[in-house]
Amino acid sequence: MEPLTVVAHEIRNPLAAIRNALNILAVAETPPHRVEQVRLMIERQLMHITRVVDLLVSSSQSQAIERRRKCIDLSSVLRLAAEACGPKIRARHQKLTVTLADVPMSVKGDTTSLTQVFVNLLDNAAKFSREGEEIELSSTVIDRDVVVRVQDSGVGIAEGRLPDALSIRPQDFEGQQDGGLGIGLVLVRRIVELHGGTIEAFSAGEAQGSTFIVRIPLS
């Protein structure tokens, strides 16, 4: 079955459910408790649609990354990401400290997608940290890997959610105002894996900050 056919099939049922839900909400005498049930159902169906689209984007992205991979200096990627996130971080009166390894960090990769990885991690660090707090971006070479660390002292990750911080679980994001954290991190993990690397999330708990560690093999 063609990918677009699969996507159409996966989206059709949620869209039908949302359409029926809107019909229910259009009835003036719908009781409040029923309205809340319908609202939650719409949220679940929208998250399902988001997941399907995300997987489609991931599939097409993997083909593009494979075509564009070449030997690059990861230091330049990290500087690009820091520069891109600089205005947002400064606007929140936060401080970004960048400490890069003083040895070559040559990897086989795609500059655009790897920059997206670290922009996403820095953007999340800024978004979930309070004004005036510090964000750290550092890199080192350990064995045959480049190890990049993005650390903040923000809201942190609850102990129960830490194992799934890099996975899509729609129920984890119900009722949250910003579900983009999970969806974005899934794409980050996918891009890192396409470069033969890994990403891990660490946190001591809520309000204890977060640390994301990316490992990418040297070329």
Give pLDDT tens digits for 104-140. 899 999 998 899 899 999 998 998 899 999 999 999 9
User: What are the per-10-residue average pLDDT scores of the chain (219 residues)?
Assistant: 58 82 83 87 82 66 77 95 92 95 93 90 92 95 96 84 62 36 70 92 87 95
- Indicate which CATH number applies to the domain containing 26: 1.10.287
Residue 87 shares a structural domain with residue 13: no
Q: What is the pTM of this model?
A: 0.68
H-helix or E-strand containing 71? strand 70-73
Residue 209 shares a structural domain with residue 102: yes
Residue 94 shares a structural domain with residue 193: yes
Q: From CA 31, how far away is CA 36, in angstroms rounded?
A: 9
Residue 154 shares a structural domain with residue 206: yes
Name the residue with tokens 């009722």. 175
Residue 58 shares a structural domain with residue 78: no
Residue numbers of the domain that contains 26: 3-66
Residue 169 shares a structural domain with residue 195: yes
Residue 211 shares a structural domain with residue 118: yes
pLDDT of residue 59: 62
pLDDT of residue 61: 66
Question: Is 113 exposed, middle or buried, given 0-12, 13-18 or 19+ CB atoms closer than 10 A?
Answer: buried
Whether the CB-CB separation of 201 and 157 falls below 8 Å is answered with: yes
- Indicate which CATH number applies to the domain containing 118: 3.30.565.10
Residue 156 shares a structural domain with residue 55: no
Q: What's the total number of domains in the chain?
A: 2
pLDDT of residue 179: 38
Q: From CA 62, how far away is CA 123, in angstroms rounded?
A: 23
Residue 156 one-letter amino acid: G
Residue 60 shares a structural domain with residue 73: no
